[in-house]
A = this chain, B = another copy of it.
């Protein structure tokens, strides 16, 4: 029997609810596939700030580093919190990514036929969208130095950050992107602002160099402003997209919203050799926390990504993906993806025979 240590970081708001459902799903899939999970639950975010005074306790960082993979819920304050608390919580997430060296953030965005109506885009534009945004996650303007506050030569107050990429950082994310594109439809679009930014010029140069290792992948380049347009105009043109940390933050959120159902979308953040971090892309949704309304599918699908990308347990991952599709096919919906003709759920009950998937 195989054994894995999974660190669970429920976090804030709806985080604990969706993590607890996904944990049950992991146990169920594991029981069929002969996999045993040991779960180690730790504090992070506002929950950690309240309990122990810091948003990323040492103890949490140590535990996640020793785990085989990490399932993360969501962190974040609510509208009543100060800017400072929001910033502290945001920075905890950056420290976690940095600590785990998870430089590759993978976000599949696909529009399920069952949920085409949830989009604000027209059916013919969105139907069949199936893309993957790969965001560089531990470099660029999020971490570049120098950064801070100061005064300029006229004594004026300034705030500054540094967008910087080294060749190896670009090379390794480019390789992940080419490998991913190769396993998908063989098309990679690299997004940058190489007509203006030196950091982007190096980005483009290195991506073109790495492309020589992947002659079977069709590479294109797009400026970030155009990419933001094209995602609205014709998202079906994209297969795999690779971009830097800040552009990836913006474009992956934009791309997710095309589906109209953030509650469905998982993500994986991978490092060179350590454990990966798996999380739904939605936030902590404080407005619906504790009401048993949250859609757990994004976290359940993140658990499937954990099995596939984090542990190499592809069969167990596919069982979960099938079970999610089957649940949707039977018409069960949470409120965020509900439309006429579906059954409204308060809680996702797992009632069917587990081994049918």
Contacts from A to B (Cβ < 8 Å) = 83, 86-87, 89-91, 94, 120-122, 125, 141-142, 144, 147-149, 152, 154, 156-168, 193-204, 224-226, 228-234, 246-247, 249-254, 256-258, 260, 262
Contacts and interface: CB of A to CB of B under 8 A. Distances in A.
A223 to B, nearest CB: 9
A231 B121 CA distance: 12
A172 to B, nearest CB: 12
A229 B253 contact: yes
A228 B203 contact: no
Contacts of A225: 249-250, 252-253
Contacts of A196: 87, 90-91, 94, 142
A168 B157 CA distance: 8
Given A86-B195, A87-B196, A160-B199, 8 more contacts: A91-B195, A120-B121, A120-B232, A157-B166, A225-B252, A228-B228, A228-B251, A250-B250
Contacts of A228: 228, 250-251, 253-254, 257
A189 to B, nearest CB: 15
B256 A199 contact: no
B201 A87 contact: yes
Given A120-B121, A196-B94, A257-B232, A201 B159 contact: yes
A204 B83 CA distance: 10
16 contacts: A83-B204, A89-B195, A120-B121, A120-B125, A120-B234, A141-B197, A142-B196, A148-B198, A149-B198, A158-B165, A159-B165, A160-B162, A160-B164, A193-B249, A229-B257, A232-B258
Contacts of A197: 141, 147, 159, 161
Interface of A, secondary structure class, is helix
B253 A226 contact: yes
A89 B194 CA distance: 12
Contacts of A120: 121-122, 125, 232-234
A199 B150 CA distance: 11
Contact of A166 (B158, B161, B260): B158
A194 B251 contact: no
A339 to B, nearest CB: 13
Given A87-B201, A142-B196, A254-B232, A156 B167 contact: yes
B232 A198 contact: no
Contact of A254 (B164, B229, B252): B229
A141 B250 CA distance: 16
A249 B223 CA distance: 10
